Chain A
């Protein structure tokens, strides 16, 4: 090989080497994605019921992730088990409302109601109602006080359905203590009890109202919204983790939650039905057929109505002291979102 050829090849090689070194220095050794802040974990009590749909929609559509939150849904076998977990910081948000929450707040525990989760609305399609067994004739206007005193009611003695029953019976001059009540926690057992005639009237929520009607066991007697229109049937509460948080994850959580409500309020769209079917494991036809609960778009709630429930709980011996709205309602998270 001649010197000129070797020289040309040498210079060519050096140029290539320089180009290679320059390209390597401009490119990271290992290609890394654009750095993103890690998502903040938030644990939320949730069960696969229709009344939790906006939460599941927000999760499925990535609204929580957009707010930098990694939301984990935590399920408990019994509703009353979620509150201790909230108070001990094992979950951050509780979406189940019990009298225990009001008692815990009254005892100075770090928990507050921060948003609405369902409001009773008279829209001709009740998601929560008192139903009557198939063989029980008459409408509410046909009933007399004496008739009601002879009936058996399936209600939870510590929950809102007893409160609604009390309000309804009061229209007839009847007190809750004058009627027979039976507590069956399982809605399937309530429907079966209605079918067998062991119960005359029971409080049900969807999809059990539709199931009871489709099976011929019961029909809607009195929508809950007709008894107490506008009542906040569900709430979201924050525990110490979010109440004491120095960052704004509480507001971000609610922002995503409200986005979930906005999409939910679009109605039974194909996407919403798909999400509800997925998390509830209900048949899509049933999801289409049932009445969906109503959610206030701004997440606000009537705290005075809950204060009335608190006073009732004291009267029933379920609580020691009635709470005022200022003692349990913390609107600042929603208020800051509205700014």
Chain B
């Protein structure tokens, strides 16, 4: 299917049906990608984007996970924080970037903080949902055995909420990647987003498409990594899926 689309695109561009300026032929995009792969600047850009993404997701997702457990397990916290969360969640994070620049400066802190904020909400909401869907029986058994605190966390809350928390992590990583690239397009000298911005500014769109391919690859790679993590942390779930 993909090959058919690419072949059609190639033919359409080469024959002039499609503008070669705005839709360069896939072969040219491939050549450009190959050329970029041999430049240090490209790997540096990729590395910077990955670091920003990982740092932001680590910060945001871990915060969301902890707060999700807390809100899920402790009703007073949930009652107090739910209105705050629901009010802040819909805010377009990219619109807050100028404020982050003023508060945290021009360096990496403002960019990573915004990525973290983006990753925070899907992780929080899914973890909270994960805790809330733990069957009442487990809570009652834990109460009967006097299980509280850390033991309650590791014996009931974590395993019970993990499936949905991992979904939240997947969403956090995807959202984080989108925002990392967007922030780089806005105000970064380096990174894949900056490469996209530069390609658009100089109207060398074959480079833009080449970077988009790389971003897609990055998304695919993170998806595969998260699959492996899920397989490791939820072996029973993956075994059930295999039997179905």
B201–A196 touching, CB < 8 Å: no
B201–A182 touching, CB < 8 Å: no
Q: Is B150 an interface residue (CB 8 A)?
A: no
B202–A103 touching, CB < 8 Å: yes
Q: Is B22 an interface residue (CB 8 A)?
A: yes
Q: For residues 295 through 326 of chain A, which have their beta carbon under 8 Å from a beta carbon of chain B?
A: 313, 318-320
A158 shortest CB reach to chain B, Å: 4
B201–A100 touching, CB < 8 Å: yes
B21–A107 touching, CB < 8 Å: yes
SS class of chain B's interface: helix, strand, loop or mixed? loop
Complex interface: chain B residues within 8 A of A196 (CB): 102, 105
Q: Is A336 an interface residue (CB 8 A)?
A: no
A100 to B19, CA, bound (A): 16
B21–A109 touching, CB < 8 Å: yes
A199 to B187, CA, bound (A): 14
Convert B18-57 into 0s and 1s, putting 1 for each residue whose CB lies closer than 8 angstroms to a CB of A: 0101100000000000000000000000000000000000
Which of B98, B188, B198, B204 has a CB less than 8 Å from the CB of A189? B98
Q: Is A84 an interface residue (CB 8 A)?
A: yes
Q: Is B101 an interface residue (CB 8 A)?
A: yes
Convert A81-125 into 0s and 1s, putting 1 for each residue whose CB lies closer than 8 angstroms to a CB of B: 001100110000000001111011001010000000000000000
A104–B21 touching, CB < 8 Å: yes
Contact size range, B: 10 to 19
Which of B19, B187, B200 has a CB less than 8 Å from the CB of A184? B187
Q: Give A318's nearest chain B residue, CB to CB.
A: B202
Q: For residues 97 through 150 of chain B, which have their beta carbon under 8 Å from a beta carbon of chain A?
A: 98, 101-102, 105-106
Q: Give A182's nearest chain B residue, CB to CB.
A: B106
Complex interface: chain A residues within 8 A of B201 (CB): 80, 98-100, 158
Known interface pairs A99-B202, A103-B202, A157-B189. Does A184 touch B106 (Cβ–Cβ under 8 Å)? yes
Complex interface: chain B residues within 8 A of A99 (CB): 201-203
Known interface pairs A84-B22, A198-B105. Does A100 touch B189 (Cβ–Cβ under 8 Å)? no
A174 shortest CB reach to chain B, Å: 19
Convert B203-215 into 0s and 1s, putting 1 for each residue whose CB lies closer than 8 angstroms to a CB of A: 1100000000000
Convert A189-206 into 0s and 1s, putting 1 for each residue whose CB lies closer than 8 angstroms to a CB of B: 100110010110000000
Known interface pairs A109-B21, A185-B186, A198-B106. Does A100 touch B202 (Cβ–Cβ under 8 Å)? yes
B105–A182 touching, CB < 8 Å: no
Complex interface: chain B residues within 8 A of A313 (CB): 202
A81 to B105, CA, bound (A): 28
A247 shortest CB reach to chain B, Å: 26
A188 to B98, CA, bound (A): 10
A199 to B203, CA, bound (A): 29
Q: Give B41's nearest chain A residue, CB to CB.
A: A317
Q: Give A108's nearest chain B residue, CB to CB.
A: B21
B189–A87 touching, CB < 8 Å: no
Convert B182-193 into 0s and 1s, putting 1 for each residue whose CB lies closer than 8 angstroms to a CB of A: 000011110000
Which of B19, B106, B198 has a CB less than 8 Å from the CB of A158? B198
Q: Give A186's nearest chain B residue, CB to CB.
A: B98
A107 to B201, CA, bound (A): 15
Q: Give A181's nearest chain B residue, CB to CB.
A: B189
Convert A120-161 into 0s and 1s, putting 1 for each residue whose CB lies closer than 8 angstroms to a CB of B: 000000000000000000000000000000000000011000
Complex interface: chain B residues within 8 A of A193 (CB): 101, 106
**A-B contacts besides A88-B19, A101-B203, 19 pairs, CB < 8 Å:** A80-B203, A84-B203, A98-B203, A99-B201, A103-B202, A103-B204, A104-B203, A181-B189, A182-B189, A183-B187, A183-B189, A184-B101, A185-B186, A185-B187, A186-B98, A189-B102, A196-B105, A199-B106, A318-B202
What are the 6 A-B residue pairs with the smallest beta carbon separation, nearest first?
A100-B203, A158-B201, A103-B203, A198-B106, A80-B201, A99-B202
13 A-B pairs whose Cβ atoms sit less than 8 Å apart in the complex: A88-B22, A98-B203, A107-B21, A181-B189, A182-B106, A184-B187, A188-B98, A193-B106, A198-B105, A198-B106, A318-B198, A319-B202, A320-B204
A interface list, Cβ under 8 A from B: 80, 83-84, 87-88, 98-101, 103-104, 107, 109, 157-158, 181-186, 188-189, 192-193, 196, 198-199, 313, 318-320
